[in-house]
Amino acid sequence: MTDRKIATYICGGCGLGDRLDLNQLEEIARIENKSDIVRTHDFLCNSEGVSQIRKDIDDEQVTHVVIAACSRRAKTGAFAFDDIAFTRANLREGVIWVRPDSEDMRETTQDMADDYLRMAGAEIQYMQQPEVDRSEDSNKKILVVGGGMSGMTAAVEAARAGYRILLVEKRGRLGGTAASLWKRTPTREPFSDPEDTGAGELIALVEREPNIETFLNSAISRTSGAPGRFSVDISRESGGTRTENVGAIVQASGFTRFDAGILSEYSYPASADVVDQHELEELARSAGGGRIKRPSDGKEVASVVFIQCAGQRSEKEGHLPYCSGFCCNASIKQAMYFKDCDPGIDTNIIYTDLRTPGNGEDFYRSAQRKGVTFTKGSVDAVSPESDQLNVSFTDLILDEQTAVNVDLVVLATGQVPNSGVSIELEDAAEESDRNAKTPDADQTAEVPVDSILNLTYRQGPDLPHLRNGFSDSHFICFPYETRRTGIYACGPVRRPMDIAQAIDDATGAALKAIQAVENAALGRGAHPRSGDLSFPRYRKEGCTQCKRCTVECPFGAIDEDEQRYPLFNEARCRRCGTCMGACPVRVISFDNYSIDTVGQQLKAVDMPDEFDEKPRILILACENDAYPALDMAAHQRREYNQFVRVVPIRCLGSVNAVWVTDALNAGYDGVMLMGCKKGDDYQCHFVKGSDMAHDRMGKINDSLQQLQLETERVETYEIEITDVDRVVELINDYSRKINEIGMNPFKGF
């Protein structure tokens, strides 16, 4: 590695030169930060300014660069220097845009700018440019598990982009549920009539595509490895297993039908004339567009009732608590089967709420024009009566009990995700105990036959599940991502959806799989830090083998070697730093993000003594939600306290307790930790980082009490990216609280 040479570039644009003493900033960069080159430019982001930086890198052998200008989230295209260690001091959004332009505030505004430059200078001293770890044996083949509409779509889209695809389907045919439908809900204007499913055309595309190899009557019996080098065993029902290497996996294993057998109040399955929506599709296919006949005696149906939310949106035992999304449109479509054949057939859809995603109300209005009756009601019971079925229900408009006799009843049941087993061990102590008994990191518990991927990961054989059994994914920011890097979920295995949504979902998952194989080949991290070349390193001599890193990694990226030391799998790593935050002896770090790059920043701040009445509040802000919220508040010129100092962090899960204790020992009067929303509806970009940080900080009260400090001096907050107003209020409210508590007695020590 060449000798370290640091250059600092200070921008005077966007009002920085008018509000700040740039000469003073130059002096800090030169003397305190020990920069070898210090330059000021009127508009650093223009072509001249960027060219000057590039010239110094090339001609002056600059290896480390500090840019003191706008937020690190701004001008990323201009300030893109991948061949050096690089950081930014946020003087625009972090200083002048959040402080009033008044004479009496100039001193504290300059103090903020000075500190942010000191912090950047301290950070760059401990940063290194990550070495490129290109994988020579990286494989760009993509495995798609599931041959339904979502699986076939993902396969076709990736194949058309030039990638080899292995498509595995457990049944003897492609098409999934869609192949058994008579028609599907319309997907284009005027949304008036059911249309062909499109399954046949998609199957033909798969069969014609030379880049797709299809395995029918097959399942995945073992999956190991990581992005770029997964190893999968494909076992055929007839016997024989073939091992393939792939770069990424798309799980499109679909759904299974809700078991309507528990709905005895609707006489299912006691009466053959009570069917679910899938069984009606079979009747419609048998009719071939003619009159549908009821199963019991082959009589042509003259009257039919559709019962919505059958076993759904209910907290009863065995029922589905969620809405499956597709069922209302499916019932409207099926009611049209009858009306299109004979307008005289009495069709009645009984619902509590009607939801028609994807086509507004057009499809619903079309059904009304065809004579379909919609009744807002709650069905109590279905019972056989003579040669018909008596449907007893409460009319929720008239608020009265009523009943109707019909030939056929159709239950709109929901989707149950076919997501495999979930035996993930969340508790660290339980995990440690289990591994104490099973030293082999690849050894797994016995897996039931309904596992989809049969992963050899220590966290379990399948993707982690959400509370209703759907495969976990970040539903807001990157919905196809799962906690297993390089494995993407799409279609109804991820959330309830119809065919149109499943096709869109599959296209997105295919694109993510392509991104994964390309990043893996270049040694880059996956989303959200896509392109990050860093990966965890650790000092083996300092490791206590506590297993905190292996247990708390949300992505299964850390195993143990034969000596029980951490074994980092760089290709699985998302670069969140959760392992770094978990390590009690602080031996884990990244080249460009470490205990020191953050720890030295907070120590670099000029700390007034307690008599100056200038408190210092440290904010550790997640770069994914909290830091953008602060930036957006600055764009709106929202003012917040001049005594805060913000340090962006990769994830709240990367916060090591030593940063908090060091900050308090250094004299900070308070510490605010701002992370993403946690819980079942989490928004944490690294899934569990915010959860873990809350748990860790909940235990820091003991340390505060040992230091004889108030527990209110450390607070943890959940911040959404849209909390522009709230984040400012939290800072100002917390600042007032610190003023009430008083200064940290450790100031000056």
Task: Write out pLDDT tens, residues 231-262.
Answer: 999 999 988 999 999 999 999 999 999 999 99
Task: Write out pLDDT tens, residues 195-219.
Answer: 999 999 999 999 999 999 999 999 9
User: According to the model, what pLDDT value does residue 531 have?
Assistant: 79
Chain mean position to CA 473: 5
Which has the minimum average pLDDT: 190-204, 552-566, 692-706?
692-706
User: According to the model, what pLDDT value does residue 440 have?
Assistant: 38
Please check the confidence at residue 33 and state whether its pLDDT lies above 60. Answer: yes
d(CA 38, CA 604): 19
Strand locations in 634-726, DSSP E? 644-649, 670-675, 714-718
In sequence order, what DSSP letters do the residues of 214-263 get, joined into one string?
Answer: EE-SEEEEEEES-TT-EEEEEEETTS-EEEEEESEEEE---EEE--GGG-
The mean pLDDT value for 722-736 works out to: 96
Please check the confidence at residue 154 and state whether its pLDDT lies above 90. Answer: yes
User: According to the model, what pLDDT value does residue 320 have?
Assistant: 95
Q: 219 near 453, Cβ under 8 Å?
A: no
Q: 63 near 85, Cβ under 8 Å?
A: yes
**Residue 23 is inside which H or E element, if any?**
helix 22-27
Q: Which residue has the tokens 């070349």?
A: 533
Task: Write out pLDDT tens, residues 155-199.
Answer: 999 999 999 999 999 999 999 999 999 999 999 899 999 999 999
**Angle at the Cα of 595 from the Cα atoms of 593 and 601, rounded to 5 degrees:** 80
* This prediction's pTM: 0.88
User: According to the model, what pLDDT value does residue 659 have?
Assistant: 94
Please check the confidence at residue 144 and state whether its pLDDT lies above 60. Answer: yes
In sequence order, what DSSP letters do the residues of 586-611 get, joined into one string?
Answer: --EEBTTB-HHHHHHHHHHS----TT
Instruction: Provide the 10 A C-beta neighbour count for residue 541.
Output: 6
User: According to the model, what pLDDT value does residue 136 have?
Assistant: 60
Q: What is the mean pLDDT of the chain?
A: 91
Per-residue tokens: 434: 């289990």
CATH number of 257-414: 3.50.50.60
Handedness of CA 441, 443, 447, 450 (dihedral sign): positive
Beta pairing class for 408-411 and 644-649: unpaired
Among candidate residues 126, 64, 120, the one with its CA nearest the CA of residue 90: 120
d(CA 130, CA 137): 20
Instruction: Provide the 10 A C-beta neighbour count for residue 711.
Output: 12
Please check the confidence at residue 674 and state whether its pLDDT lies above 50. Answer: yes
- 566 preceded by a cis bond (ω within 30 of 0): no
The SS3 of residue 571 is coil
- 464 preceded by a cis bond (ω within 30 of 0): no
Task: Write out pLDDT tens, residues 311-357.
Answer: 999 999 999 999 999 999 999 999 999 999 999 999 999 999 999 98
Cα-only R_g, the chain = 30
User: According to the model, what pLDDT value does residue 692 have?
Assistant: 87
Higher pLDDT pick, 217 / 130: 217
Partners of 621 in beta bridges: 648, 674
- 190 preceded by a cis bond (ω within 30 of 0): yes
Q: How many residues does the chain have?
A: 749
Q: Kindly give the interhelix angle for 724-741 and 626-635, rounded to the nearest 10 degrees.
A: 100
CATH number of 1-129: 3.40.50.960
The region that residue 175 occupies, defined by phi over 0 for left and psi between -120 and 50 for alpha, beta otherwise, is left
User: What does the longest C-alpha to C-alpha distance in the chain come to?
Assistant: 97
Alpha helices in 499-656 (DSSP H): 499-522, 548-552, 578-582, 595-604, 626-635
**Residue 409 is inside which H or E element, if any?**
strand 408-411
Residue 708 pLDDT grade (very low, low, confident, very high; cuts 50, 70, 90): confident
d(CA 506, CA 156): 10
Chain mean position to CA 569: 20
Instruction: Provide the 10 A C-beta neighbour count for residue 243.
Output: 10
Q: How many C-alpha atoms does 163 have within 13 Å on its Cβ side? A: 28
Task: Write out pLDDT tens, residues 495-546.
Answer: 999 999 999 999 999 999 999 999 888 888 888 888 788 889 999 999 999 9
Domain range 607-749, its CATH number among 2.40.50, 3.40.190, 3.40.50, 3.30.70: 3.40.50
Domain range 142-254+418-426+437-522, its CATH number among 2.60.120.700, 3.30.420.40, 3.50.50.60, 1.20.1440.230: 3.50.50.60
Question: SS in 3 state form for 707-721?
Answer: CCCCHHHEEEEECCC
The mean pLDDT value for 265-280 works out to: 96
Beta pairing class for 218-224 and 212-215: unpaired
Among candidate residues 276, 281, 255, the one with its CA nearest the CA of residue 266: 276
Q: Would you say the CATH fold of 607-749 matches that of 1-129? A: yes
User: According to the model, what pLDDT value does residue 430 have?
Assistant: 44
Beta pairing class for 230-236 and 218-224: antiparallel
Distances (CA, A) of 670 to 281, 324, 628, 715: 63, 46, 22, 8
Write down the domain spans for the chain. Answer: 1-129, 142-254+418-426+437-522, 257-414, 607-749
Please check the confidence at residue 34 and state whether its pLDDT lies above 90. Answer: yes
Please check the confidence at residue 695 and state whether its pLDDT lies above 80. Answer: yes
The answer for residues whose C-beta is within 8 angstroms of residue 81's C-beta and 6 or more apart is 53, 54, 57, 65
Beta pairing class for 644-649 and 617-622: parallel
Among candidate residues 152, 409, 393, 192, the one with its CA nearest the CA of residue 279: 409
d(CA 323, CA 413): 10
d(CA 688, CA 679): 8
User: According to the model, what pLDDT value does residue 466 have?
Assistant: 85
